[in-house]
Structure 1
Amino acid sequence: MSAAVPSEQRMANQIAANFRHVPADAAAKEIAGHIRRFWDPRMRARLLDLVDSGADGLDPVVVLAAESIRQP
């Protein structure tokens, strides 16, 4: 049995899937903007913790977006 995927990881990967048609840098910018606008600060913090821990299965564009999410 596999461990459940954290909801922040699942949702971030779903957002990334919506931007597969654009270059990775533009997609990362859009993903970061969406997460900043619509996610609760606690959710953003959990996503950043997942990125920092190298969570398996995170979309690489989400990892790129994390850098923008960290910036004010």
Structure 2
Amino acid sequence: MDLDNLIVMANRIGLFFAAQPDRDEAMAGIAEHVKKFWEPRMRSQILAAIGTEAGAGLSEIVAAALTTHRAMLQPA
């Protein structure tokens, strides 16, 4: 899948969960949603983009959520 589309989708998920008052819960919600609903190839692609120029479009909360919960998001 196109990385730009993945970034847009991830940022939309982030917008939804960012409304939660507890930042840690919001980040856990983002990661759980990605784990549940994204196929392994999509997760691998977005995780590889974190911290690179290609992933610069990720919102701060999404990048933090994916980084913090990277272990649970790694495809098996």
Q: After TM superposition, is the score higher than 0.5?
A: yes
Is the Cα contact below 8 Å between 1:9 and 1:47 reproduced in 2?
yes
TM-score (norm: length of structure 1): 0.80
Structure 2: runs of 5+ lacking an equivalent? none
Moved more, 49-58 or 38-47: 49-58
Q: How do residues 8-23 of structure 1 correspond to structure 2 at under 5 angstroms?
A: 8-22=6-20, 23=22
The reply on whether 1:6 has 2:32 as its aligned counterpart is no
Q: CA deviation at 1:5?
A: 6.6
| Separation of aligned partners in 1, 2:16 and 2:60 | 14
Once superposed, what is the RMSD of the aligned Cα atoms?
1.9
Segments of 4+ moved more than 3 angstroms = none
Is the Cα contact below 8 Å between 1:15 and 1:31 reproduced in 2?
yes
For residue 33 of structure 1, what is the aligned residue in structure 2? 32
Is the Cα contact below 8 Å between 1:9 and 1:50 reproduced in 2?
no
Is the Cα contact below 8 Å between 2:11 and 2:59 reproduced in 1?
yes
Is the Cα contact below 8 Å between 1:16 and 1:59 reproduced in 2?
yes
Structure 1: runs of 5+ lacking an equivalent? none
The sequence identity of aligned pairs, in percent, is: 32
Aligned length: 68
For residue 47 of structure 2, what is the aligned residue in structure 1? 48
Is the Cα contact below 8 Å between 2:3 and 2:46 reproduced in 1?
no
